[in-house]
Chains A and B, each alone.
Chain A
Amino acid sequence: MPSPALARSLTDARLHVVTGKGGTGKTTVAAALALALAAQGRRVLLAEVEGRQGISQAFDVPPLGDDEVRLVTDPSGGELWGLSVDAKPALMEYLQTFYKLGRAGAALEKVGAIDFATTIAPGVRDVLLIGKVYEATGRTDGARRGQGRLVYDSVVLDAPPTGRVVRFLNVNHEVADIARVGPIRGQAESITRMLRDRSTLVHIVTLLEEMPVQESVDAIAELTAHRFGVGAVIVNLEREALLSAATRAALDDPALEERVRADLTAARVRASGPVVRGLLAEAEDHVERLLLEDEMRAEIRSQDVPVLHLPALPGGVDGGGLSVLAQALTEQGVR
């Protein structure tokens, strides 16, 4: 059942930026989202920018290089491509496009200028990384940008974590101090226009725990303040509640201990004191956890952003797990 808010925000989306506190499952969720879109017949690019080879691990394929590689072909006709964006080739490509450098590129490399520009020159690295994503998002099969049909229907970006994502997206501001004029400035402005457009959505992955939720709330405020569109909060690794409301209420009843003892005995389980009290202690801890999770859910809901849910897969995401998560996203209205 897609919520109207989700449907509205997804209508024009072409670039999905996925962020979240580190370790919440950003890469996994980005991969599942890309897979869900591809399974609906789209041609999708999944890109990562931190050189961690997360895509290659998630899809169990050899490490990705500078070339886009087809990861999945769906019976629907959809395709999923993967790319690990590296700043160095992106800079070389950039220099080639704008300056027709030819062999001079090698000279730059030799004196360490490429290393310098891609690692330490503030902001340049981010412009290069996101510039590549910009290029892929707008790429067409015609002779020039804007001519012909778009090569990718959707692009999903496994972005830096919440703490860094606004700085990362805010390239225009970052290069403002460096380049006041010239092509890199012009490029930063086009990139910013696209990122602030309705076609770009930033999704935030979280767990139902205090720190990730806090970071998500902070990120929503910061993204909004910088006029980036927030798509959905995606709650990952949700566990099902294993105790019904009736049982939760019964935990307050002093008679429960006796009943449990009698039931265990009836089932021929040795109902020792430690086992009976242990079962009750486990239930109480579980309820405490559930209450905290409810609190976290309420906090997320109060943000007025569509919320999507992904279950914790007991066996991990290996071997088909990604498809299960992709399916769950589709069922919740991700188009």
Chain B
Amino acid sequence: MSPTADRAMPAFDIDTLISDAHVGVVVCCGSGGVGKTTTAAALALRAAEAGRRVVVLTIDPARRLAQSLGLSELDNTPRPVQGIDAAAGGTLDAMMLDMKRTFDDVVEAHATPEKAAQILANPFYQAVSSSFAGTQEYMAMEKLGQLRAQAERTGQWDLIVVDTPPSRSALDFLDAPKRLGSFLDGRFIRLLSAPAKASGRAYLKVFSVGVNLATNTLGKILGGQMLTDVQTFVAALDTMFGGFRERADVTYALLKEDATAFVVVAAPERDALREAAYFVDRLGEERMPLAGLVVNRIQAVPAGALSAARALAAAEQLAEGSDQGSGGQAASATVELLRLHAALATTADRQRAQVSRFAAGHPGIPVVEVPAAATDIHDLQGLRSIGVALAG
């Protein structure tokens, strides 16, 4: 099971990562459904039980996992996880991101109470904070920034583990906040809100023809109220803090620090590994520190010493024997076990071939394989077993 045999694929040792006191932030990324949340939680638990003071930010945990981490309370702040082994002196706090609430908090922290109330009641704000694509990614980054500031201020955590939103593409985590920032700082919104600020005549003369046509037309379709909402929203935000884009840039910079480590999670399938490859390449371009790749849900084959082909041949032989009556009924269970084994071993071979292909294209990237558990992972014990697998 260990990929170390393959020279292109050094082993990714999660224990080295979590015992490195220099590492303060671990970000778990990957395409949707591959096991990001599970990996983040397992890694955080293992680090805490190894003595680190950890906070894990989960985004969309499976319901039963959330319950066993004590995340049923949705108050958007970290709470201690019960039932961890604290013998090494570590602690584990966990939280689940509430993006709307996080956005509201940002507003409240940066505006006078009256102004904040005005923004929170703005219909345009409400729509952007609860439904716009990219808001979740933006707020995940925002929350990471907040947790980091809190860790520095209080010293209560020395490791922050972050899960990322369930986007189709792992790249969304890096791109969506900027995209949202650019939209909110976008040309048309600026133009809409500009006359309110710079009401100089010269300015109006230059822009008014196109803008007036545009606002009038959009006003007709969308309703004039909405454009007014947008104008007040942007104007109010501007006085609160610098543009959205700058704010996203600040958190983005945090991801480039060398105290940050990215863990990329993938399933052993073509699409997921292709996404992982895009993401790994992107981290390289951005000079963001990649710790390694977790290939999650690899088919485990306990009887791996027996090849698929050999198992099938033996199954055929035994099946023929029982047809003729010599082996009788007795062999039928063995025949089924052999056929099952052949199916599993074939799957495992196909998965390994996919992983090798990834490794060949990305030599030198540390990889660890985590076997697929027979059932879902929904308690601390399950997370611990994932943690053991992550340690190779």
Instruction: Assess whether A278 is in contact with B305, with CB atoms less than 8 Å apart.
Output: yes
Instruction: Assess whether A260 is in contact with B336, with CB atoms less than 8 Å apart.
Output: no
Q: Does A115 contact B (CB under 8 A)?
A: yes
Binds A, one of B46-54, B146-154, B337-345: B337-345
Beta-carbon nearest neighbor of A52 in chain B: B168
Q: Interface readout for A15-49 with B: 1 if CB under 8 Å, 0 if not? A: 00000011100000000000000000000000000
> In the complex, given contacts A210-B376, A266-B327, what are 18 additional A-B residue pairs having Cβ atoms less than 8 angstroms apart?
A22-B32, A107-B210, A115-B187, A115-B188, A117-B218, A120-B132, A120-B184, A122-B123, A122-B131, A211-B33, A214-B62, A263-B331, A274-B303, A275-B303, A278-B301, A278-B306, A282-B341, A286-B374
Chain A residues contacting B220 (CB-CB under 8 Å) are: 99, 182
Chain B residues contacting A145 (CB-CB under 8 Å) are: none
- Nearest 10 pairs of A and B residues by beta carbon: A278-B303, A122-B127, A278-B302, A112-B188, A263-B334, A112-B187, A267-B314, A113-B214, A288-B374, A116-B188
Instruction: Assess whether A123 is in contact with B127, with CB atoms less than 8 Å apart.
Output: yes
Instruction: Assess whether B214 is in contact with A210, with CB atoms less than 8 Å apart.
Output: no
Q: Does B353 contact A (CB under 8 A)?
A: no
Q: Does B253 contact A (CB under 8 A)?
A: no
Instruction: Assess whether B327 is in contact with A211, with CB atoms less than 8 Å apart.
Output: no
Report Cα–Cα, A247/B332, bound state, in Å. 8
Report Cα–Cα, A179/B332, bound state, in Å. 69
Question: A205 to chain B: closest CB distance in Å?
Answer: 13
Please tell me which one of the listed residues A22, A104, A123, A180 contacts residue B168 in the complex, with CB atoms under 8 A apart: A22
Q: Does A285 contact B (CB under 8 A)?
A: yes
Report Cα–Cα, A244/B183, bound state, in Å. 58
Beta-carbon nearest neighbor of A24 in chain B: B33
Instruction: Assess whether A120 is in contact with B183, with CB atoms less than 8 Å apart.
Output: yes
Instruction: Assess whether B222 is in contact with A108, with CB atoms less than 8 Å apart.
Output: no
Report Cα–Cα, A52/B172, bound state, in Å. 13
Instruction: Assess whether A95 is in contact with B217, with CB atoms less than 8 Å apart.
Output: yes
Known A260-B337, A285-B300: A210·B62 in contact at CB below 8 Å: yes
Question: A132 to chain B: closest CB distance in Å?
Answer: 16
Interface residues of A in 91-146 (CB under 8 A from B): 95, 99, 101, 104, 107-108, 110-113, 115-117, 119-124
Known A111-B191, A263-B334, A288-B375: A279·B341 in contact at CB below 8 Å: yes
Interface residues on A, range: 35 or more
Interface residues of B in 28-49 (CB under 8 A from A): 31-33
Instruction: Assess whether B338 is in contact with A279, with CB atoms less than 8 Å apart.
Output: yes
Q: Does A281 contact B (CB under 8 A)?
A: yes
Chain B residues contacting A279 (CB-CB under 8 Å) are: 302-303, 306, 337-338, 340-341
Chain B residues contacting A264 (CB-CB under 8 Å) are: 314, 334
Instruction: Assess whether B333 is in contact with A246, with CB atoms less than 8 Å apart.
Output: yes
Please tell me which one of the listed residues A104, A116, A122, A283 contacts residue B337 in the complex, with CB atoms under 8 A apart: A283
Question: A85 to chain B: closest CB distance in Å?
Answer: 16
Known A124-B222, A211-B62, A267-B318: A23·B32 in contact at CB below 8 Å: yes
Report Cα–Cα, A22/B166, bound state, in Å. 8
Please report B residues at the A interface, Cβ cutoff 8 Å.
Answer: 31-33, 62-64, 123-124, 127-128, 131-132, 166, 168, 183-184, 186-189, 191, 207, 210-211, 213-215, 217-218, 220-223, 225-226, 270, 300-306, 310-311, 314-315, 317-318, 321, 327, 330-334, 336-341, 343-344, 374-376, 378
* Chain A binding surface, main DSSP class: helix
Report Cα–Cα, A123/B131, bound state, in Å. 9
29 A-B interface contacts by CB (under 8 A): A23-B33, A52-B168, A95-B221, A111-B211, A112-B186, A112-B187, A115-B187, A117-B221, A119-B183, A178-B223, A182-B220, A184-B222, A210-B62, A210-B378, A211-B33, A242-B339, A243-B336, A243-B340, A246-B333, A247-B337, A259-B333, A259-B334, A263-B327, A269-B314, A279-B340, A279-B341, A282-B301, A285-B374, A316-B270
Question: A263 to chain B: closest CB distance in Å?
Answer: 4
Known A22-B168, A111-B188: A269·B217 in contact at CB below 8 Å: no
Please report A residues at the B interface, Cβ cutoff 8 Å.
Answer: 21-23, 52, 95, 99, 101, 104, 107-108, 110-113, 115-117, 119-124, 167, 177-184, 209-211, 214, 242-244, 246-247, 250, 256, 259-260, 263-264, 266-269, 272, 274-286, 288-289, 292, 316
Instruction: Assess whether A108 is in contact with B217, with CB atoms less than 8 Å apart.
Output: yes
Instruction: Assess whether B131 is in contact with A167, with CB atoms less than 8 Å apart.
Output: yes
Question: B104 to chain A: closest CB distance in Å?
Answer: 17
Beta-carbon nearest neighbor of A283 in chain B: B337
* Chain B binding surface, main DSSP class: helix
Instruction: Assess whether A274 is in contact with B305, with CB atoms less than 8 Å apart.
Output: yes
Question: B182 to chain A: closest CB distance in Å?
Answer: 10
Instruction: Assess whether A209 is in contact with B376, with CB atoms less than 8 Å apart.
Output: yes
Chain B residues contacting A178 (CB-CB under 8 Å) are: 222-223, 225-226
Instruction: Assess whether B217 is in contact with A104, with CB atoms less than 8 Å apart.
Output: yes
Please tell me which one of the listed residues B191, B317, B330 contacts residue A112 in the complex, with CB atoms under 8 A apart: B191
Instruction: Assess whether A269 is in contact with B306, with CB atoms less than 8 Å apart.
Output: yes
Chain B residues contacting A242 (CB-CB under 8 Å) are: 336, 339-340, 343
Please tell me which one of the listed residues A22, A120, A266, A276 contacts residue B33 in the complex, with CB atoms under 8 A apart: A22
Instruction: Assess whether B213 is in contact with A107, with CB atoms less than 8 Å apart.
Output: yes
Instruction: Assess whether B214 is in contact with A179, with CB atoms less than 8 Å apart.
Output: no
Chain B residues contacting A269 (CB-CB under 8 Å) are: 306, 310-311, 314
Instruction: Assess whether B375 is in contact with A292, with CB atoms less than 8 Å apart.
Output: yes
Chain B residues contacting A99 (CB-CB under 8 Å) are: 217, 220
Report Cα–Cα, A217/B305, bound state, in Å. 42
Chain A residues contacting B331 (CB-CB under 8 Å) are: 263, 266
Instruction: Assess whether A108 is in contact with B214, with CB atoms less than 8 Å apart.
Output: yes
Q: Which of A99, A116, A181, A210 has the most CB of B within 10 A?
A: A116
Report Cα–Cα, A260/B335, bound state, in Å. 9
Instruction: Assess whether B222 is in contact with A101, with CB atoms less than 8 Å apart.
Output: no
Instruction: Assess whether A122 is in contact with B124, with CB atoms less than 8 Å apart.
Output: yes
Instruction: Assess whether B217 is in contact with A121, with CB atoms less than 8 Å apart.
Output: no
Beta-carbon nearest neighbor of B319 in chain A: A267
Chain A residues contacting B378 (CB-CB under 8 Å) are: 210
Instruction: Assess whether A184 is in contact with B305, with CB atoms less than 8 Å apart.
Output: no
Report Cα–Cα, A260/B336, bound state, in Å. 11
Instruction: Assess whether B340 is in contact with A283, with CB atoms less than 8 Å apart.
Output: yes
Chain B residues contacting A107 (CB-CB under 8 Å) are: 210, 213-214
Report Cα–Cα, A292/B311, bound state, in Å. 27
Report Cα–Cα, A274/B311, bound state, in Å. 15
Question: B71 to chain A: closest CB distance in Å?
Answer: 15
Please tell me which one of the listed residues B63, B123, B184, B332 contacts residue A177 in the complex, with CB atoms under 8 A apart: B123
Chain B residues contacting A283 (CB-CB under 8 Å) are: 336-337, 340
Question: B343 to chain A: closest CB distance in Å?
Answer: 6
Chain B residues contacting A23 (CB-CB under 8 Å) are: 31-33
